[in-house]
Structure formats: structure tokens, C-alpha cells
Amino acid sequence: MFSLHRSLLVAVVFAALPLAAQAQARKPAPKAVVKPDAKPAPKPAPPAPPAPSAPSVPSVPSARATPPTPAPVPPRAAAASTGPFEVGTNALNVGIGLGNRYGYGAGVFGGSSSVSPAISLSFERGILPLGPGVLGVGAFVGYQGASYDLGGGDKFKYTDVIVMLRGAFHYPVTPEFDAYGGVGLGVRHAGVSFEGNSVYGALGTASANELASGLFVGGRYFFTPGIGAFAELGYDQTYLKVGLAAKF
């Protein structure tokens, strides 16, 4: 009896083994663990700007290279003179004056008078452009002698010296010729002396100084860059002056 129960227990155990195995096989598979997605890859960095290229070094011209052409010189202002007398020009006139402004006693005692040509020297410098021309300033010195013959060996002798400051406007007519006109103001020294044995000898000598002024117009023409001639009409010591001119 005990053996019978033992045999049945063994049979039940062996019969249950397949069912247990089958149940074990039917167990649901464990759920797969869902791992979180990996972090997104960082955005790519923007491309770096291209490195600046090194500046090209200009080639050094050789010693035999042609020098650059100089820039053209701008033209002179319209006010600048284009004649022979310009700003900075020094001009010198040496002339002989004809005629005279003073009577030197003619007709006072019934004699006759004679007047020598006047010798003049003038200097001028251009200082300022003025319109189409140039303003010049300078000085004038003139000497003139005269005599008054009374007859019988009696004679009066006169000396006349004028020193003036002058100013003139010069207009450039051509590159060689300029016309000018101006005014002068200065001092005149006049002296008189007597020669002879008559009663007039008691008059002796005398001199005087007085204010002198004058107006003049003239022109200068240069045959070379530095030498020319001039002519001048005026009312100062004489009425006409002609002579040589120089500039430097």
C-alpha cells in the first residue's frame, strides 16, 4: 500500500513537470527597458572667416626706373600780372627830362634864360597784385640846372633838385611792354646864385625848400629780359622823360 502511494506520487510529480515547464515557458518576456535618446549632437560651429591675405609688397623700382612725372603746376590766379613788371620785380629808370615847370626868372630883368635837360633816376618795386595789373611803389630823384643871362657878364644860375615818393599802377599790355600811371609827392630844393660885377651882385645867393607833387603816365618796353627803354609824360619837374630801363 505504501509502495502504491509512492508510485502514484512519483507519477504525479513526473506528470506535473511538463506542465510546470510549459507554464514557465509561457511567462511573458520582460519588457525592454527603453533608454532615453542620446543628447542631440551640438550644432556645428560656423566656419571661421578666411584669414586675411598678407598685403602685397610693392616692388621697389630699380635705380634705372623712370622718375614719376611731376604734377602740373596750377595756373596763376587771374589777378597775377603777365607783363614785364610783376610783384617782386625791381625796375630802374635813368632818363633825361625835357621842358621845365618853372620860369627861372625869365623876363624879369629883360634878359634871356636857358634850361638844361633834367637828369632823373627812379626806382620802383612791385608790391601788390591789383586787378589785372600790379601796384608799384618807389622813389624819384631829379636834377635840373638853368641860367638867366642879364648881359654884360651878369648871370643868375639856378639849381633845382626834386626828391619824391611815387606810386603807380602797371598794366601788362604785352609780355614785353607795360603801361603805367601814378602820383608823386615830395620836396623840391631850389637855389640861385649871381655871377658878375654889377649891382645885382649884392643879391648874393639864396635857396628855398617847398612841397612838390606830380602826376605821370608812361610805358616801358624791354628788348631783353632785363634791359629796355621808357618814356614818361608828367607834371613834376619836366613834362617829358625818356631813357633806359632795367629790371631785376
DSSP code at position 99: S
Residue 168 in any domain: the answer is yes
Do 125 and 137 touch, CB atoms closer than 8 A? yes
Range of the domain at 105: 90-143+162-183+213-247
Residue 137 in any domain: the answer is yes
Residue 150 in any domain: the answer is no
Residue 29 in any domain: the answer is no
pLDDT reported for residue 78: 44
Question: Among residues 89, 84, 93, which one has the least CA distance to residue 245?
Answer: 93
Residue 226 in any domain: the answer is yes
Q: Amino acid identity of 65? A: A
pLDDT block averages, 10 residues each, the chain of length 248: 49 50 49 50 56 52 59 52 90 92 64 84 96 96 88 82 96 96 95 77 79 95 96 91 96
Three-state SS for 59? coil
Do 200 and 150 touch, CB atoms closer than 8 A? yes
CA–CA distances in Å: residue 79 to residues 87, 106, 170, 177, 221: 11, 50, 12, 17, 21
Return all residues near 10 (Cβ < 8 A) that are at least 6 apart. Answer: none
CATH number for 219: 2.40.160
Q: Indicate the length of the chain as a whole number.
A: 248
pLDDT reported for residue 106: 58
Residue 27 in any domain: the answer is no
pLDDT reported for residue 23: 46
How far the first Cα of the chain sits from its last, in Å, is 169
Q: Are strands 133-151 and 227-234 parallel, antiparallel or unpaired?
A: unpaired
pLDDT reported for residue 168: 97
Residue 179 in any domain: the answer is yes
What the block records as the C-alpha cell of 183 is: 602820383
DSSP states along 155-196 = EEEEEEEEEEEEEEEEEESSSSEEEEEEEEEEEEEEEEEEES
Kind and range of the H or E run holding 18: helix 2-25
pLDDT reported for residue 2: 44
| Rounded-to-integer distance, Cα 163 and Cα 124, Å | 14
pLDDT reported for residue 112: 72
The domain tally of the chain equals 1
pLDDT reported for residue 237: 86
Residue 177 in any domain: the answer is yes
